[in-house]
Chains A and B, each alone.
Chain A
Amino acid sequence: MYKQFRYAKNWMMIALCVISALLALVPLAYILTYTVVHGLSALNWDFFTNLPKPVGETGGGIANALVGTLIMLLLSSVIAIPIGILSGIYLSEFGNNKFGSTIRFLTDVMNGLPSIIIGVFAYTLIVVPMKRFSAIAGAVALAILMLPIIIRATEELIKLVPSHIREGGVAIGIPRWKVTLRIILRSALPGIITAIMLSVARAAGETAPLLFTALGNRFWQPRLDQPISAVSLQIFEYAKAPYEDWHAQAWAASFVVIMLILVFKIIIRIVAKGEIKSAA
């Protein structure tokens, strides 16, 4: 009797777990189907290659937005990667003091900062002195977003490299900084690259930091010191507007962004698996 009750309880708990998991997937499935259903009408080759058209004209696209996002991601990577890796090296090699713990703590705080605050910060720092919105400001905002991820990952991965590797390098007369940069960093590099790609994937979808920095642009504008378009900004603009065909384009753009990030993350997983295999 008691045994049956125990079995029933067991199955009930399992069912509860499965239902919870399915529930968690519901929003994702809903978003995907909704974006496809509503955006499919606007999804065609023109969509990827055309510039935005005025309201009422058909055939508008997100070409400039895609390029703008790409430009800003590249620029923010160029800013964030060196600073992030070197900071991570500092924290792991010399960071066992009060200064190091302060930096570590502040990095974690930065990780959780609302992205709009980062945008306002970049506005104050770059847009106001430059007296214009620009791709640079957007890139700086995205870089601030990417930094904490890279710093923490670099620090943790370097710490994972066993200390006898460092000893082995130092013991044959290689200067210590060279041991860190050429030998230890090299072994930690696969993981650091994965972390960089993850931070890029995160920055790719951000909208709030770009609101007051890159501003958005309906025209073809690849210059770095002028307002530039981004896919997330375009979605925001189109979704706010009252026009139906713009709504459809917003859905289509959302679908594109989701797919791009999905494909990117799949690539990251494949690369990471390969690294785990080669490190083993």
Chain B
Amino acid sequence: MAEQNNGTHKEENNSRTSHTTEGQHAVASRESQLRPANGQDTYSFKSYDKMSKTVIEIKDLNIYFGATHALKNVTMSIKQNSVTSIIGPSGCGKSTLLRTLNRMHEISGGVTMTGSVVFEGNEITSVDATELRKRVGMVFQKPNPFPSMTIMENVVAGLRFNGIRSRSILKETAEKCLIKAGLWHEVKDRLKEPALKLSGGQQQRLCIARALAVSPDVLLMDEPASALDPISTAKIEELIFELQPNYTIVIVTHNMQQAARVSNETAFMYIGKLIEFGKTKDVFSNPKNKQTEEYITGRFG
């Protein structure tokens, strides 16, 4: 079902088909803007192993907030079109790990990172952060639509503020993404209304649509449904299921049942360490690690 053709890589162009009608030229122009920060003039995608089809490879990742050692030697790989959930008790470093994947940890200063995170063959610290974030988008726990903007302006913000101004492309992309986010029918008549007038669940789907508008490959979701009521939560989970064939999704959740429902790979973390990582059904029914079993059966956390 994956529309992405990622088996072959040319030296300068990714032959992956665009999965929105943003326009081939927009995809190509965006890709031509991708330049490693060290000034190389070609952005060469190294071909990765077709068998594992890993999108993000994390090796020995350590994160320090000043003196606090928040992530300790995390090593895992995230596969194409998987839904990977990161579970664990509060403070175990799940959100920190997620935020590292698109370099959001750099926004608040004083964070040191060692180890490597490789996205599509390139070390994330060696490419432009803004370009990385267009490919690895993020949705947050508390819905955060831009306050002084309408619904339509919110959805296309990522495109408009990156130079794509053509109204037809913006309208088309907005419609596609709102449909993908399951919000189109509820807002199609009121696109010019302020975004803050929507309910919490609608705002969160709006934020998802906004993140999808820039055509990322990976969608990071930091507890996307924890601030929502059960019905909205169910809608978000359904959304993840619908998005999965076209995106790689990494979701942090403190709700184990949600992890069991939506993900096909699960990572269990505890106090900064990755304790166990494997297929969801294996981790939940047959955990290899004792701590995993204790967390899942509710002995702590």
A189 & B148 in contact (Cβ 8 Å cutoff): yes
Number of interface residues, chain B, beta carbon within 8 A: 30
The answer, among A170, A175, A279, for a CB contact under 8 Å with B104, is A170
B131 & A173 in contact (Cβ 8 Å cutoff): yes
Q: CB-CB contacts of A150-164 with B at 8 A, as 1s and 0s?
A: 000000000001101
- How far apart are the CA atoms of A182 and B158 in the complex, in Å? 11
A182 & B161 in contact (Cβ 8 Å cutoff): yes
User: Which A residues, 158 to 196, have Cβ-Cβ distances below 8 Å to chain B?
Assistant: 161-162, 164-176, 178-179, 182-183, 186-187, 189
| B251, CB-defined interface residue at 8 Å | no
Interface of chain A, main secondary structure: helix
- How far apart are the CA atoms of A176 and B104 in the complex, in Å? 12
B146 & A183 in contact (Cβ 8 Å cutoff): yes
| B24, CB-defined interface residue at 8 Å | no
Number of A-B contacts (CB under 8 A): 80
A168 & B137 in contact (Cβ 8 Å cutoff): no
A168 & B104 in contact (Cβ 8 Å cutoff): no
CB-defined contacts of B107 to chain A, threshold 8 Å? 166-167, 170
B140 & A173 in contact (Cβ 8 Å cutoff): no
Name 15 interchain pairs, CB-CB below 8 A, sorted by A: A167-B107, A169-B161, A170-B107, A171-B102, A172-B133, A172-B210, A172-B211, A172-B214, A174-B161, A174-B162, A175-B130, A176-B130, A183-B161, A187-B147, A189-B148
Which residues does A use to contact B, with CB under 8 Å?
161-162, 164-176, 178-179, 182-183, 186-187, 189, 279
Which residues does B use to contact A, with CB under 8 Å?
102, 104, 107, 130-135, 137-140, 142, 144-149, 157-158, 161-162, 207, 210-211, 213-214, 216
Since A168-B145, A173-B162, A174-B157 are in contact, a sample of 13 more A-B pairs with Cβ atoms closer than 8 Å, ordered by chain A residue number, is A167-B144, A170-B107, A171-B211, A172-B134, A172-B213, A173-B131, A173-B134, A173-B158, A173-B214, A173-B216, A174-B158, A174-B162, A182-B161
